[in-house]
Amino acid sequence: MAKLYPYQRIGTDFLKDKGRALLADEVGLGKSIQAITACEELQARRVLILCPAILKEQWKAEIEKFYPESIASFVSGTQGDRFDLWQSDSQYTIANYELLLRDFGLIERQDWDVI
């Protein structure tokens, strides 16, 4: 379990309590870990993370560092590869923004607990 700073605990609780919320802290204050911790504490089974392609590895590393029992996977490859990956049983599915445009039909068919 991640050890959060007090301001991160406030952000995490905000995300959990509001149901629908965005976290807009300054760069470097730990928005990723706050979002991941909120998902863990909500016991979200299917989480979709959409981010710039350059940050996909960082998201996966954060999840594995603080919650090693959680499974995170990337969506990439050919359209056929991506079809199978969108349907995987990973708790965290990480994709870059461009795939939202290409695979919107596949994404909206999934039952996401958190996006």
Phi then psi for residue 96, to 5 deg, are -85, 160
Q: What is the pLDDT of residues 23-80, one digit of tens each?
A: 888 888 999 999 999 999 999 999 999 999 999 999 999 999 999 999 999 999 999 8
The pLDDT of residue 20 is: 83
**CB burial of residue 4 (10 Å; 0-12, 13-18, 19+):** middle
Confidence of residue 111 (pLDDT cuts 50, 70, 90): very high
Contact between residue 1 and residue 23 where contact means Cβ atoms under 8 Å apart: no
